[in-house]
Each structure stands twice: as structure tokens, then as C-alpha cells.
Amino acid sequence: MGKSTGFMEYERQGNPAVSPLERIKNFNEFHEPLPIEERRKQAARCMDCGVPFCQAGVKISGMFSGCPLHNLVPEWNDLLYRGNLELAAGRLLSTNNFPEFTSRVCPALCEAACTCNLNGAAVATKENENSIIEYAYANGLMEPDPPKTRTGKKVAVVGSGPSGLACADQLNKRGHSVTVYERFDRPGGLLMYGIPNMKLEKRFILRRIEKMKAEGVGFMTNCNVGKDITSEELLDEYDAVVLCCGASNPRNINAPGRDAEGIYFAVEFLRGVTKSLMDAGYDTEKAFSGGTCVTCKDKDVIIIGGGDTGNDCTGTAIRQGCKSVTQIEMMPEPPLTRRESNPWPEWPLVKKTDYGAEESIAVFGHDPRVYQTTVTEFIKNDEGKLCGVKTVKLESKTDHETGRRSMVPVEGTEGELPADVVLIAAGFLGSEDYVRNAFSVEADGRSNVKTAEGAYKTSAAKVFTAGDMHRGQSLVVWGIAEGRACAKEVDEYLMGYTNL
């Protein structure tokens, strides 16, 4: 695919980024697209490798390698190289409902599995994908296309994150009448209120929502199913109900002093910031001065958790004007390059310095991440407000009885850090129980909705599930893949067969 010698002729070139000290002045996306001729050269690097691991989406050594959507990466890279972007968009959209989302927030499992990694840098597949879908929007290829006939079947989708939107989009294309229920004031789930604007500008989500509305999908916002409307009402009105409520039960840090004022869950913090920005028309002074969201201005910020959400909190706190930011991670610092025990095409377990860490280095002169450390106590003043945290270093040890390795405290390594705000980004513990209980669906041992292996039908009649609520905390691309697969199962349940 592409130009047979392209990977030898052209070096990988990413979309140029605005400098850290400049981009922290606002919450806008900060990568500028390459000119189309340069982008075609990047597509030309996609080699005729014989086995396209990029689109495999298979589990290797317990980790997934390649795209879960099985995107036809070599095909649309070839079409982009040849300048046929209309056909490239068609091939891209045949497997991915929302390339405008994945091309911005996906960690690019396709690139990690790219054969070019064996002898250099991977093909810039994620940015190529973005150029194709944005070309499609800019050139009239994404006009609303409602189904020509309707089946007479009605489906309720509870939750408007990536899995809910993908499921609704697929079922609507089939001709079913779909209504999406969202408990917050804007649809999009974690796409809207969990991922910061500088990583995924909300205008792109709203653009897609408007297209779905024009194609016949209904949206009911500010409607919390299980509280504002009962499960019985939905089951009476609809032929099927799909639960796509996410794994939104955050993991807590139950250390002494947890009741101190100034401790927040990361998603609660990020949601408040995004909502305040949108309500204020992205006027940051207005958004952060009205007290409608947590502000880190002139404050020492501690973030517990070293993953993507922790990084998003770092970037957000810096844009708010924090005094300092420290990101605490209990696991050891990853290596800079692959270990021999982690060969291609496995997912590379290497250290990644994302935008938030880059910005912290530029502003404060050091990486915000502190590894092999945990918080043992939250310190509060006489007024009950947070003023610091106690920490301890950790080391990996093996339990000789069970054979399991765990991180345990190292005596004599205790310390303290100043803290006015703590953001807990320690992951999630499955779905919230009030929705599960409302529909009387079974849960598995991880608090996810239980189904048969590889299926999406729950233990309750007419009720299906998909996304993080089904598989646990995961990626946007997995949410879309689950939503598509669930829609196929729902369609077969409603019609007796499926052509999805």
C-alpha cells in the first residue's frame, strides 16, 4: 500500500504543536495540520507490509495490539497518498463512526503495532485519519443522511458517551427510532465532560451531535435514568434499552484526613472546568471567577494518579494558573525504550511524556511525575481545609505465600508536600449501582454489567449494555467498537436478522 519506497524516502513528521508556554494561555487545541501535500507524503510511508498488524486488534501477552475497530488503515493511507480523499473517507467511515474523536484522543494502538516501528518511526496514522475526516467535513461529504425507511422499532440508549453514540448511530442507520438519554446538560458523556477542550474541542462533538439529530436521533438531556425517569417507563415505551452509562464510579483514596476541604475526584474537576468554560463562551476569566468550578489558581496542586486523566488534570491546573503541580504515581517509572520482554507488536510499555508533563517542564522546570510514591494522609488546618499531604516511597515485593507482587511502603522514606488542592485520578471501580439496580441487571465481580462472553444482552429482558459499563474503564476506540457490536446484537433481537 502507499508508495512502496515511501517509508525509506520520507521521515515521520507530526502536526506541529504550539509551544507549551504559548498554548497554556487558552484551552484550544494546539496542533496545526500539515499541508495536504506533506500529509500525502506521510501516507506514502505506509508500506506494503503483507500483514497489517495496525488493523488487527488482537490480544498479545494480555494487551491489545492494533485497532479494535479493525480500521482499514493501509487502504485509506493508500487512498490519501493517491489524493483520493473522498474514497478514503468512505473506507474510514465504514469501520469507525467517529474518526474526528479517535483521531484526537486515541493513544493510537494502530501506530504501536505498525511494522515501520521495527526499523524506525511508525506511520502517522492517527494524524492521517484526522486529515481525512476533516477533509470530509470541509468538502460536503458529511451532510445528514437519514434512513429512507423506518422499521417501527424504538430503542432507548442510556448514556451518550462513545459507546452510546456509536450504538445509537448504527441503530438509527438501520431504520430504528433511537432516543439517547443523558443525565447532564449536554450530550457526549466523557467526550464532553471528561476530556479537556485542548485535547478534544467540544465544537467537534456538537458538530456530530447536530448531524445525528438531523438524521433522526433524539436526545434527552438533564434526564437521569433511574432517578428522573424509571426503568419501567423506558421498558414500557421502547422495544429495547441499551445501557451505556460508563464506568463512572471513581476509585477513592481512603487515607486519614480524607474529609478535608479541597479534595476532588479528577472527573468531577474536569467536568466542572469544561462546563464553566462552555457556559462562559470560553472566557477563562469569567469561567473561573464565578465560583462555578474548582480553580487551581495560585494553589499547590497534588494529582494522585499517573495516567491520561492525571495528565489532563496537570494541563488544566497549569492553564488555571496553579502555583505548583505534582503528579503522584505508585508504580515504578517505565523505561524509555522497550525491554526485550516487551517486543513489537505488543503495546510498548515505555515512558510517555504527554502534553501536561511537557507544559509542567516548561513552566516549573521539572517533570511533575513522582514515581513509586503514595499518599498516606491528608493534612488539614484548624478550619478543616487541606494544607498538605504525607507521602511514603514504595517498592515492589513478592508475597511468598501467594506469589503475588505488590507495592509496599519503604520504612524511613516518609515525606510531606504542600497541597491546597488534591485531584484523585486513581481510576474507576465499575459502573454506578443505581442504574444497574433500576433495571435489575446482574453485575460481575468488577461491578460491570454481566453478559455472556462476547455478547451484550444482560440478564434482564429487553436490556443490553455496551462500553465501559460492560468492559470496565477503557478507551474511546473500545467504546465505539462495543457500541457497534451491541447495535448489531440489538438489531438481530428486534428484526430476527441483522445487516449491520
Mean pLDDT for 342-348 is: 93
Please answer whether residues 321 and 297 qualify as being in contact, where contact means their C-beta atoms are separated by less than 8 angstroms.
yes
CB atoms closer than 10 angstroms to residue 19 = 12
Q: What pLDDT sits at residue 483?
A: 98
pLDDT 10s digits, 108-125: 999 999 999 988 899 999
Q: What pLDDT sits at residue 2?
A: 67
pLDDT 10s digits, 288-313: 998 899 999 999 999 999 899 999 99
Peptide linkage before 345 cis (omega within 30 of 0): yes
- The answer on pLDDT for 14 being more than 70 is yes
Mean pLDDT for 147-164 is: 98
- The answer on pLDDT for 351 being more than 90 is yes
Average pLDDT of every residue of the chain: 96
- The answer on pLDDT for 378 being more than 80 is yes
What's the half-sphere exposure (Cβ side, CA atoms, 13 Å) at 393?
8
Of 41-50, 186-195, 487-496, the poorest mean pLDDT is in 41-50
* Ranges of H-type helices in 222-265: 231-237
The secondary structure of residue 228, as a DSSP letter, is T
- The answer on pLDDT for 358 being more than 80 is yes
pLDDT 10s digits, 196-251: 999 999 999 999 999 999 999 999 999 999 999 999 999 999 999 999 999 989 99
Cell of 357: 508533563
Q: What percent of the chain has pLDDT over 90?
A: 93
- The answer on pLDDT for 47 being more than 90 is no
Q: What pLDDT sits at residue 294?
A: 97
* Cα–Cα distance for residue pair 435/225, rounded to 1 Å: 7
Mean pLDDT for 25-32 is: 97
Q: What pLDDT sits at residue 163?
A: 98
Grid cell 442507520 is found at: 173
Q: What pLDDT sits at residue 413?
A: 98
Q: Please state the pTM of the whole predicted model.
A: 0.96
Query: Strands 324-328, 300-304: parallel, antiparallel or unpaired by DSSP?
Result: parallel
Q: What pLDDT sits at residue 1?
A: 60
Grid cell 479537556 is found at: 196
Q: What pLDDT sits at residue 399?
A: 85
What number of H helices and E strands is found in the chain? 19, 16
Please answer whether residues 327 and 303 qualify as being in contact, where contact means their C-beta atoms are separated by less than 8 angstroms.
yes
Q: What percent of the chain has pLDDT over 70?
A: 100
- The answer on pLDDT for 370 being more than 70 is yes
Q: What structural domains does the chain harbor?
A: 6-138 (1.10.1060.10), 154-248+429-495 (3.50.50.60), 263-424 (3.50.50.60)
* Cα–Cα distance for residue pair 449/242, rounded to 1 Å: 11
